[in-house]
Chain A
Amino acid sequence: ETGVTQTPRHLVMGMTNKKSLKCEQHLGHNAMYWYKQSAKKPLELMFVYNFKEQTENNSVPSRFSPECPNSSHLFLHLHTLQPEDSALYLCASSQDETSGRDTQYFGPGTRLTVL
């Protein structure tokens, strides 16, 4: 498999559930990103990892918890979410995060609905 993959593609959860989103990149990149895409709002950067180390937490609530066990895998653990957290969550990767000039490659996203 090539590129950036994300599972699941769709997720419906209640506010008291705990779930995790998974992202895997097969591009040999060192940097990985989580974005949130809500209807009628600009794309929001949530977290950045470079060589497995978190380098950015863009004021994201603690009910979102990222994990990066290695440069190829990125998780987003979800707990006690709110209905306004319903959105498309996109994962991306790039060769490294030291330069924004690097192209970021996106996965297909997970469509999350919080009831």
Chain B
Amino acid sequence: GDSVTQMEGPVTLSEEAFLTINCTYTATGYPSLFWYVQYPGEGLQLLLKATKADDKGSNKGFEATYRKETTSFHLEKGSVQVSDSAVYFCALGSNDYKLSFGAGTTVTVRA
């Protein structure tokens, strides 16, 4: 079945450091790929999405490119801030309405 595997955390960084969270997927067909973010005490918020191969999703300085050849959708940000401290979830959606979520990666950014 469809699934995503994302980098296990926790990840601790200093402010202005470069962040990468790896996400790979297994799917039949042509899924959409998502990154959601969950700030402390809140629900999940859509961070970015990509619906087809080679699409790049971007938002708030975060980027991820849908790579069909490597079945990956890695999340990157060039210079993180303390306010980026959160749990990040990679997710996959295909013809089946269900979203397949990764386990989540906790990111802590220190000042």
Task: Spell out A's residues near B (CB within 8 Å).
Answer: 4, 6, 31, 42-43, 45, 48, 50, 55-56, 90, 92, 94, 97-109
- Looking at the assembled complex, report how far the CB atom of A35 sits from the nearest CB atom of chain B, in whole angstroms: 9
- Asked if B60 CB lies within 8 Å of chain A CBs, one says no
With A100-B32, A101-B51 as known contacts, state yes or no: A48 contacts B97, CB within 8 Å.
Answer: yes
Chain B residues 75 to 105 lying within 8 A of chain A, measured CB to CB, are 89, 92-99, 101-104
- Asked if B17 CB lies within 8 Å of chain A CBs, one says no
Contacts of A45 in B (CB 8 A): 98-99
Decide if A100 touches B49 in the complex (CB within 8 Å): no
- Asked if B34 CB lies within 8 Å of chain A CBs, one says yes
Decide if B43 touches A99 in the complex (CB within 8 Å): no
Decide if A99 touches B46 in the complex (CB within 8 Å): no
Task: Spell out B's residues near A (CB within 8 Å).
Answer: 31-32, 34, 36, 42-46, 49, 51, 89, 92-99, 101-104
Q: How far is the CA of A108 from the CA of B43 in the complex (A)?
A: 4
Interface contacts (Cβ under 8 Å), in number, total 59
Decide if A100 touches B43 in the complex (CB within 8 Å): no
Contacts of A6 in B (CB 8 A): 43
Decide if B99 touches A104 in the complex (CB within 8 Å): yes
Identify 9 residue pairs between A and B in the complex whose beta-carbon atoms are under 8 Å apart, listed by A's number: A4-B43, A31-B97, A42-B103, A45-B98, A98-B97, A100-B92, A103-B34, A108-B43, A109-B43
Contacts of B36 in A (CB 8 A): 106
Decide if A102 touches B93 in the complex (CB within 8 Å): yes
Beyond A43-B101, A56-B97, A99-B97, list 19 extra A-B contacts (CB 8 Å): A6-B43, A50-B97, A55-B97, A90-B44, A94-B97, A97-B97, A100-B94, A100-B96, A100-B98, A100-B99, A101-B32, A101-B51, A102-B93, A102-B97, A104-B46, A106-B43, A107-B43, A108-B42, A109-B42
With A42-B101, A42-B103, A45-B98 as known contacts, state yes or no: A100 contacts B42, CB within 8 Å.
Answer: no
Q: How far is the CA of A45 from the CA of B101 in the complex (A)?
A: 10
